[in-house]
Chains A and B, each alone.
Chain A
C-alpha cells in the first residue's frame, strides 16, 4: 500500500504550482466566501463561477476526472442537505443553489490542495497567523496519517491471515479490539515522538522559519483573480 495519493499532482511544474501558497489560499478562500454569500444567481454568476474554476483547472493542467473524483466527497453532505431540505420549506431553486455553492467550494479547495504540497499549505496557514496549535495538529496529522495507515494495513493483514475466510463484518465485535490496539500503539508512539522532540531541544513554542516567497507573479495573480471574482459577483452583463 502506498500513501502517495494525497500528494499526487502537487509537484507538477505549471504556473499554478509555482505560485506562493498564500496567494492560492487567498484566491481559493475569497472564491468560496463570495460564492457562499451570493444570494441571487443571474446568468453571469451561473456561467462565471464555473468558468473561473475551469480557467484555474487549465492553468494547473489537472485532469478533469481526478478533480471530479475529489468533489465526490461532497456527496454525503449533499444528500444530507437534500434530505433536510425536503423536510423544510425550501424551494427546489434554493436547494439547487445550495448544492451548487457546496460543489463550487469543494472544487475550488480541491484545486488549491492539488496544486500545493501540503507542507507549503501548512507554512501558508502559519504565516497567515492561523493559531500555531492548529497548524501543529495538521502537521502531525499529515505526517502520521501514513504511519497509522501502514499499521492499520499490517493489523488487517494479520487479521486476514488468521480469519480463514470469515468476513470482518461477521466479527465486527472484535473490531473494537483492533481499534483499541491501534489507539494504544498511537498513544505509545506519541510518547516516543514527544521524547524525540525533547531530545532535540524542544520546549515551546514550536520554532518556525520563513520558507515562502511572495513575488510579483503572486501579486498579479491575486489582483487578477480578485478582479475577475469581483466582476462575476457584482458586474453587469
Chain B
C-alpha cells in the first residue's frame, strides 16, 4: 500500500521559544490506523496541527504524494480532516447545517452539492434531521458527532482525531470505536485512552517532549511496561488482567 502521510524531520518551536516538536518523522499507509500516544504536553496536538498546515514548522510533510507548501495548502486541507478534542472549538456556526456546510462551502461547492454533502455527513454519524438544531442544545456526544460530520463533509482521505473518546460515556465510546473501525480512511488518533488504541489501531508511536521515542505494532508495544512507564503511560486496563 502507498504512503498516505509522510512526516519528515519536523521541528517546531512556539513563539515563546518552547521546543514543541523535535525532528519528528512519522508515516502512515493508506487505510492504516495509527495511534500517537504520550503524556500531557508531549506534542501530540501540535503535531496534528501540522498535518494540514495550520502550524508550519521546519521539515517536510507529504500527504498523498503532495508536499505541503503554500501552493498545495488548499488540497492538503481538503485531504486531512482534523477532529479537535473539544467540539466547542470546532463547531462555531449558529446551526448544525451551517457548521457542517462550512467546509464544503469553502471548497467552492455548489449549493446543491453542499446540501448533499451535509445530508450524507450527518447520516454517516447518525445525526439525520439535526440540521436546524443549535450546537448549545446538543449533548457532548452529539457535538462530537457534529464536529466529525463537519470534517467528513470535506471527504478527506486522512482523519486525525485528538482525544476522540474524552468525555464520552462507555456506550458512546464503544459506538465511536465501532464507527472508526468501519471507516476506510487513514486514521491517526492522539489519545491517552490505550484501550481504544488496543481496539482500533494497528500501530502506535510514543511521543514525549516533542520527540518520537518508540514506534511499534499494537498490541506488542503494550508488552513493554518499563518503556510505557518511563513515558507516563501504562498498559491498557484490559491487558492488566484486573
Task: Verify that A and B bind, or say they do not.
Answer: yes
Instruction: Check B89 against A196 for contact (C-beta < 8 Å).
Output: yes
Question: Interface size (B, Cβ < 8 Å)?
Answer: 37
> Does A200 interact with chain B (Cβ within 8 Å)?
yes
> Does B107 interact with chain A (Cβ within 8 Å)?
yes
Contacts of B81 in A (CB 8 A): 199
| Interface set, chain A 183-222, CB cutoff 8 A to B | 189, 192-193, 195-203, 207-211
* A-contact bits for B49-70, CB 8 A (1 contact / 0 none): 1001010000000000000000
* Stretch touching chain B among A53-61, A78-86, A90-98, A139-147: A139-147
A200 to B93, CA, bound (A): 13
Instruction: Check B54 against A199 for contact (C-beta < 8 Å).
Output: yes
Contacts of B90 in A (CB 8 A): 193, 196
Give the dominant DSSP class at A's interface: helix
> Does A122 interact with chain B (Cβ within 8 Å)?
yes
Interchain CB contact (< 8 A) of B102 among A189, A200, A210: A200
Instruction: Check A119 against B77 for contact (C-beta < 8 Å).
Output: no
Given the contacts A201-B103, A209-B101, A143 and B52 also touching, CB distance less than 8 Å: no
Contacts of B92 in A (CB 8 A): 140, 143-144, 193, 196-197
Contacts of B78 in A (CB 8 A): 201
Instruction: Check A192 against B84 for contact (C-beta < 8 Å).
Output: yes
* Stretch touching chain A among B22-30, B129-137, B191-199, B216-224: B129-137
Instruction: Check B111 against A209 for contact (C-beta < 8 Å).
Output: yes
CB distance from A114 to the nearest CB of B (A): 15
| Interface set, chain A 20-70, CB cutoff 8 A to B | none
> Does B106 interact with chain A (Cβ within 8 Å)?
yes
Across the two chains, which residue of chain A brings its CB closest to B132? Answer: A117
A189 to B49, CA, bound (A): 15
Instruction: Check B54 against A143 for contact (C-beta < 8 Å).
Output: no
Across the two chains, which residue of chain A brings its CB closest to B106? Answer: A201
Q: Which of A196, A197, A202 has the most CB of B within 10 A?
A: A196
Contacts of A198 in B (CB 8 A): 54, 77
Instruction: Check A147 against B88 for contact (C-beta < 8 Å).
Output: yes
| Interface set, chain A 118-176, CB cutoff 8 A to B | 118-119, 122, 139-140, 142-144, 146-147
Across the two chains, which residue of chain A brings its CB closest to B135? Answer: A143
> Does B174 interact with chain A (Cβ within 8 Å)?
no
> Does B82 interact with chain A (Cβ within 8 Å)?
yes
Given the contacts A143-B135, A201-B74, A192 and B89 also touching, CB distance less than 8 Å: yes
> Does B127 interact with chain A (Cβ within 8 Å)?
no
> Does B3 interact with chain A (Cβ within 8 Å)?
no
User: Can you add 20 more A-B contacts, CB < 8 Å, to A147-B136, A199-B81, A200-B102?
Assistant: A117-B132, A117-B134, A119-B98, A139-B94, A143-B91, A143-B93, A143-B135, A143-B136, A144-B92, A146-B136, A189-B89, A195-B54, A197-B92, A199-B80, A200-B77, A201-B77, A201-B103, A201-B107, A201-B154, A203-B106
Going nearest first, the 3 A-B pairs with the smallest beta carbon separation are A201-B106, A207-B105, A146-B136
